[in-house]
């Protein structure tokens, strides 16, 4: 039964990640003035990464396979890395007008997030973690 709930956590994480990427981010950046959208994103991302890190860590407890458990553990660690290390540095680079450094860190953040999303999808596919 717990494995079922862990499967739902991973599926919910996919939904959260896709919804933010497809709906929230484009809306925030088109509907709000730049200073407001920047303020929103700075408040949102630490909560986003922390919540996804916690739910991913919880999901590791319902995994039977070592490879799948390792994949989820890595994803959880990357969420916490993004929350506590990467996001503050992205913000600092933006504040210090270090455009090239900001772009590098921002794209690292986006790349890690997409890799995590793809990992979750892989785990949910037939033959993945919960089947």
Q: With pLDDT > 70 as the criterion, what percentage of the chain qualifies?
A: 97
Instruction: Tell which wins on pLDDT, 6 or 64.
Output: 6
Residue matched to tokens 């994103």:
41
Cα-based distances in Å from 99 to 55, 93, 104, 120? 33, 7, 9, 31
- Apex 47 CA angle, 45 and 50, nearest 5: 105
Neighbours of 86 (CB within 10 A): 19
Q: Tell me how far apart the alpha carbons of residues 43 and 60 are, in angstroms, rounded to a whole number.
A: 27
Cα-based distances in Å from 83 to 67, 79, 88? 24, 6, 8
Q: Tell me how far apart the alpha carbons of residues 52 and 60 are, in angstroms, rounded to a whole number.
A: 12
pLDDT above 80 for 128: no
Whole-number CA gyration radius for the chain: 16
H helix runs in 20-128, sequence order: 25-31, 34-59, 66-81, 87-95, 99-124
Confidence of residue 65 (pLDDT cuts 50, 70, 90): confident
Q: Tell me how far apart the alpha carbons of residues 80 and 49 are, in angstroms, rounded to a whole number.
A: 6
pLDDT (tens digit per residue) in 104-127: 999 999 999 999 999 999 999 987
Residues in CB range of 84: below 8 A, 6 or more apart = none
């Amino acid at each position: 039964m717990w494995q079922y709930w862990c499967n739902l956590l991973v599926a919910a994480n996919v939904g959260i990640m896709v919804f933010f990427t497809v709906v929230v981010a484009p809306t925030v950046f088109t509907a709000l003035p730049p200073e407001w959208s920047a303020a929103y994103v700075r408040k949102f991302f630490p909560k986003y990464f922390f919540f996804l890190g916690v739910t991913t860590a919880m999901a590791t407890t319902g995994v039977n396979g070592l490879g799948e458990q390792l994949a989820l553990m890595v994803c959880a660690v990357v969420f916490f890395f993004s929350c506590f290390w990467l996001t503050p540095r992205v913000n600092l680079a933006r504040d210090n007008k270090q455009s090239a450094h900001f772009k590098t860190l921002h794209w690292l953040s986006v790349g890690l997030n997409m890799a995590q999303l793809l990992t979750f999808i892989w785990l949910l596919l037939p033959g993945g973690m919960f089947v």
